[in-house]
A and B are shown apart, each in its own frame.
Chain A
Amino acid sequence: MQSPNPIAHDAYTFVRTSGGIAEYRLDSNGLQVLLLPVAAAPVVAFMVTYRVGSRNERAGLTGATHLLEHLMFKGTERYNKDRGTSIFPTLQRVGALLNATTWLDRTNYYELLPSEHLELAVEIEADRMRNARIRDEDLDSERTVVLNELDRGENDPMRKLVHAVSAAAFFAHPYGHPTIGWRSDVERVTAEGLRHFYDTFYWPDNATASVIGDFDAEEALDLLARHFGAIPSAPDHFEFPVTDEPPQIGERRVTVRQAGQLGSVLMAFKGPAGLTHEADALDVLAVVLGGGKSSRLYRHLTDRGITTGTYAWMPRLRDPGLFYVFANLAPDVEHASAEEAIWEVIDGVIADGVTETELTRARRQLLADEAYGRDGAFAIASQLNEAIAVGDWTLYTEYLSRLEAVTPDAIREAARRTFNRDRLTVGHYLPVLPEATAAEAA
């Protein structure tokens, strides 16, 4: 995509362009601003990404990022229910689709709305960046909402399995606890605790504002300067040390038992950080292993009736994360058999690497995915959000050229380094038939 010409604007310093996106820094407070005009439909996406996620939580405060995200919708002094200006109704009234999400490295708030209402979204996001009402009474009602969300997750054995495997894989690093938090922390956290969290992380110089879609770039810069410009930068420099995970030497195993019908296996290998080139090779490898019905896992497991579904995936994170291989077992298949079959696939890659045909196919799939990912402002915002979270938004714009550089040798080397039994955590979901659960309960 052609890069736009930089706009000279008194309030900003132009930083760079890449892949059609222009980056500016708001001089008054350090807010990073990304602009991507796409004139395909008369809608625009506005998104504020804070570089804070469950990675920044300490013991006793797990789930704080997510609970705070919920409370951010309870409003500010200007936008609140008492004044009839609650955030959701105010934005939904003009047809906005809006929400927020929290994950390991980031929290994002977004609005997708008719272009002529962009200012409303900018104004509200700027207001709640520093003026959120984080009150005891709001926390009381929202806590039970989040506990219900937590219960919904606990219904799902797969989610429990992911939590158990993550907790076993990470002893020290906060990627070990679930983003929604441990129940006792969610039950006990106070408004004061959340306020402290908010005052630590919600500042313009810890955030990126992205505008994508149908808008005029100069007008957008004016709008952002008008609404965000007066917010001060953070009182302290952002230095939030996160514990390094000690090297894992030795396989770890966990088991989740819960009522259900069919078992699952989750294998999680320690992987590299998201900005490394090794992660590029592993992205391609994940497609070769689990991308579609021609993939190795599908052919070797699902097509042979060992599993009903498999996938391979390595989320690209700021710190070293996990490469997952997941399998839903077919009826009457033992966990050990599925695990053995997965190892046969992995050992094949370690021994012989991947073929040129597989590499070409995987690249083509990723190339098409990138094109599909530009279909609509929201799709672009979602991907850009993850790149911001990893630490460099150009990971999104340079993704294809990075993949082009991946060679069969790089994949084989990445496979050898990653698929190491000493760096593996295995989780089994063992379904307990409902009759057995009932008998035990009685």
Chain B
Amino acid sequence: MPRTMTELPPLAERVHVLESGDAQVLALPTPIDRVVSFEGSFSTVPDFAAGEETIQHLAVRLLDKGTTRRDRFALAEALEDRGAELSFTADGLRCRFSGRCLRDDLPDVLQIAAEQLRAPLFDDAEFEKERARHAAALRRALDDTGSQARAALARRMYAPAHPNYRADPADELVFLQGLTVDDVRAFHANHFGARNLQVVLVGDLDPHAAGDAVRRSLGDWMVATRRGSFETAATPLTPGREDVPMPDKQNLDVRIGLPLALRRDHADYLPLYVGTYVLGGNFSARLMTRVRDEQGLTYGIGARLGGIAVEHDAYFVTSVTLSRENLDRGIEATLAEISRFAEGGITDEELDEKQTTLKGIFRVGLATTGGLAQALLTNAERGFDVAYLDRFPERIEALRVESINDAVSRHIDPLRLHLAVAGTLHAPLR
């Protein structure tokens, strides 16, 4: 057997945890040459029922369109002159920033990120342009079978106040037209700040110097004053199917799912996660083996747990892509596999195989600075300590088939499944 040349101590021994009030900085030096990846996030909690998630999206998109100190082009040049990457995203309850840069540029890049987060310009003209771009993106989403099926399923399971709800793009277009730049300014003033701020830095760095750089740029950022409200549980419709007819889409996207009374810190989470992986987690999972490999009905099929958080419930979803002539057979075959899974659970052999797989994937996923930064951030956002990541493979290994099958039978009820189908359902009448 080939030797492993790199023996790494546990992450808990390598990650430097630097605390500062409500904020936490995690710094991890790795052997890569010159590169530093960084990820950060903070809690914003928009009022979902009031449509503030759309306002949050616009606020995030406008962060690189100028600050009170420099215009949008000066910002872009400052980053691109350093070859640095920096992006901002909104993800329900939190806003995130992430990027990469060369080692010597880290203090400058963090300073630019902080400037954008803390002192955005929110110029009237830029707001109008960004609103037009978002409107265009929503119109393009109307053409995408995957987006349409995903959103249709979410609407069957959740009310607008739940973070896992997805608005109909057509409705969001109407809402968008009623917004003003003042809505964005107010949202930023009230919701952006260092509440539960987490910053992770990984790569060719000195941990203390990196921590100082974060402190200099974000150390005195105030905690936001307002938190919106959201529902934590699903309010599903009666189980059933929703079709989203779309012309010229011979490949249809199908989503089959159900809401779970389950959060990331629930004792059933890991058993159900592993069970779902056996059903549809990779190429050798049951769905790929039966529906793709044996029956040739689809190019892509899989199952996973989605909308995972410690603050609200998650859901179970199976995704399958089907050509129109195979739609009914494909749905039937997929439902049959889900029912077999729900009723019969998994076997010892399957568990044994997937335990090894998941431990290996976990190791492989932590082999880049970006992968490490993302894993450390997600872990920190959930309130878990760094050692949780070190213990994760052992926790997977400790699972027994009985606990997995108990969790599957408790949470996956085929009679509660919802279906959403998007694409061209019937042949054109020519």
Tell me the A residues contacting B by CB distance below 8 Å: 1, 37, 39-44, 81, 86, 88-89, 92-97, 112-119, 140-149, 151-152, 154-155, 157, 213-216, 219-220, 223, 258-262, 291-294, 299, 303, 305, 308, 328, 330-331, 360-361, 364-369, 371-372, 374-379, 432, 434, 437-438, 441-442
Knowing that A293-B72, A441-B429 touch, tell me 19 more A-B residue pairs with CB under 8 angstroms.
Answer: A89-B284, A92-B357, A95-B363, A115-B4, A116-B1, A116-B2, A141-B293, A145-B296, A148-B321, A155-B423, A157-B143, A216-B5, A258-B248, A365-B83, A368-B102, A374-B32, A432-B248, A437-B248, A442-B429
- B178 is an interface residue with CB less than 8 A from chain A: no
Asked if A308 meets B2 with Cβ closer than 8 Å, knowing A143-B296, A145-B298, A375-B37, the reply is no
A115–B5 touching, CB < 8 Å: yes
Contacts of A303 in B (CB 8 A): 72, 129
Instruction: Indicate the member of A95, A369, A432, A442 with the most B CB atoms within 10 Å.
Output: A95
A369–B299 touching, CB < 8 Å: no
* Identity of the chain B residue whose Cβ is nearest the Cβ of A222 in the assembled complex: B2
Query: A35 to nearest B CB, angstroms?
Result: 13
User: For chain B residues 341-369, which have a beta carbon within 8 Å of chain A?
Assistant: 353, 356-364, 366-369
A438–B363 touching, CB < 8 Å: no
| Bound complex: CA A37 to CA B6 (Å) | 11
Query: B269 to nearest A CB, angstroms?
Result: 21
Query: A432 to nearest B CB, angstroms?
Result: 8
Contacts of A360 in B (CB 8 A): 81
- B226 is an interface residue with CB less than 8 A from chain A: no
A148–B298 touching, CB < 8 Å: yes
Asked if A155 meets B356 with Cβ closer than 8 Å, knowing A113-B364, A262-B136, the reply is no
* Identity of the chain A residue whose Cβ is nearest the Cβ of B370 in the assembled complex: A375
| Bound complex: CA A155 to CA B253 (Å) | 11
* Identity of the chain A residue whose Cβ is nearest the Cβ of B322 in the assembled complex: A148
User: For chain B residues 129-160, which have a beta carbon within 8 Å of chain A?
Assistant: 129, 132-133, 135-137, 139-140, 142-143, 145
Contact of B283 among A92, A365, A374, A377 (CB under 8 A): A92
| Bound complex: CA A148 to CA B296 (Å) | 9
Contact of A146 among B80, B297, B299 (CB under 8 A): B299
A144–B297 touching, CB < 8 Å: yes
Main secondary structure of the interface of B (DSSP, over half): mixed
- B101 is an interface residue with CB less than 8 A from chain A: yes
A214–B139 touching, CB < 8 Å: no
Contacts of A81 in B (CB 8 A): 293
- B76 is an interface residue with CB less than 8 A from chain A: yes
* Identity of the chain B residue whose Cβ is nearest the Cβ of A366 in the assembled complex: B83
| Bound complex: CA A96 to CA B363 (Å) | 10
| Bound complex: CA A85 to CA B397 (Å) | 23
B142–A261 touching, CB < 8 Å: yes
- B282 is an interface residue with CB less than 8 A from chain A: yes
| Bound complex: CA A81 to CA B30 (Å) | 40
| Bound complex: CA A40 to CA B145 (Å) | 40
Query: A242 to nearest B CB, angstroms?
Result: 29
Tell me the B residues contacting A by CB distance below 8 Å: 1-8, 30-35, 37, 64, 72-73, 75-77, 79-85, 100-102, 129, 132-133, 135-137, 139-140, 142-143, 145, 203, 246-251, 282-284, 288, 292-300, 321-324, 326, 353, 356-364, 366-371, 423, 428-430
Asked if A293 meets B73 with Cβ closer than 8 Å, knowing A215-B5, A261-B140, the reply is yes
| Bound complex: CA A12 to CA B64 (Å) | 54
Contacts of A95 in B (CB 8 A): 356-364
* Identity of the chain B residue whose Cβ is nearest the Cβ of A433 in the assembled complex: B247
| Bound complex: CA A317 to CA B90 (Å) | 38
Contact of B2 among A155, A220, A291, A366 (CB under 8 A): A220
Query: B35 to nearest A CB, angstroms?
Result: 5
A216–B2 touching, CB < 8 Å: yes
Contact of A154 among B129, B251, B430 (CB under 8 A): B251
Contacts of A93 in B (CB 8 A): 284, 353, 356-357
B139–A262 touching, CB < 8 Å: yes
User: Would you mind naming 13 contact pairs between A and B with Cβ atoms under 8 Å apart?
Assistant: A40-B30, A41-B363, A114-B363, A141-B294, A145-B299, A149-B299, A151-B323, A152-B299, A155-B423, A214-B4, A294-B80, A331-B132, A374-B35
B31–A39 touching, CB < 8 Å: yes
Asked if A43 meets B357 with Cβ closer than 8 Å, knowing A92-B284, A292-B80, A361-B77, the reply is no
Considering the complex of A and B, which 5 residue pairs feature the smallest CB-CB distances, nearest first?
A95-B360, A368-B83, A141-B296, A376-B368, A89-B284
Asked if A374 meets B364 with Cβ closer than 8 Å, knowing A89-B284, A259-B247, the reply is no
* Identity of the chain A residue whose Cβ is nearest the Cβ of B135 in the assembled complex: A331
Contact of A148 among B139, B247, B326, B367 (CB under 8 A): B326
Contacts of B79 in A (CB 8 A): 292
A155–B249 touching, CB < 8 Å: yes
Asked if A259 meets B246 with Cβ closer than 8 Å, knowing A93-B353, A293-B72, A364-B81, the reply is yes
A42–B4 touching, CB < 8 Å: yes
A293–B76 touching, CB < 8 Å: yes
B129–A305 touching, CB < 8 Å: yes
Contacts of A149 in B (CB 8 A): 299
Contacts of B34 in A (CB 8 A): 371
Contacts of A96 in B (CB 8 A): 360, 364
Contacts of B7 in A (CB 8 A): 42
| Bound complex: CA A146 to CA B321 (Å) | 12
Contacts of B100 in A (CB 8 A): 368, 372, 375
Contacts of A140 in B (CB 8 A): 296
Contacts of B81 in A (CB 8 A): 360-361, 364
* Identity of the chain A residue whose Cβ is nearest the Cβ of B75 in the assembled complex: A293
A379–B368 touching, CB < 8 Å: yes
Query: A133 to nearest B CB, angstroms?
Result: 14
Asked if A260 meets B76 with Cβ closer than 8 Å, knowing A42-B6, A144-B297, A331-B136, the reply is no
Query: B333 to nearest A CB, angstroms?
Result: 13
A375–B368 touching, CB < 8 Å: yes
| Bound complex: CA A40 to CA B372 (Å) | 12
Contact of A438 among B247, B362, B364, B370 (CB under 8 A): B247
A376–B247 touching, CB < 8 Å: no
Contact of A368 among B82, B129, B249, B292 (CB under 8 A): B82
A97–B364 touching, CB < 8 Å: yes
Contacts of B101 in A (CB 8 A): 368
B83–A369 touching, CB < 8 Å: yes
Query: B355 to nearest A CB, angstroms?
Result: 10
B293–A148 touching, CB < 8 Å: no
Contacts of A146 in B (CB 8 A): 299
Contacts of B85 in A (CB 8 A): 368, 372
Asked if A434 meets B296 with Cβ closer than 8 Å, knowing A41-B367, A43-B363, A375-B370, the reply is no
A259–B143 touching, CB < 8 Å: yes
Contacts of B136 in A (CB 8 A): 262, 308, 328, 330-331
B140–A371 touching, CB < 8 Å: no
Query: B359 to nearest A CB, angstroms?
Result: 6
A115–B2 touching, CB < 8 Å: yes
Contacts of A115 in B (CB 8 A): 2-6
Contact of A37 among B5, B64, B77 (CB under 8 A): B5
Contacts of B430 in A (CB 8 A): 441
A308–B296 touching, CB < 8 Å: no
B296–A142 touching, CB < 8 Å: yes
A375–B35 touching, CB < 8 Å: yes
| Bound complex: CA A364 to CA B368 (Å) | 22
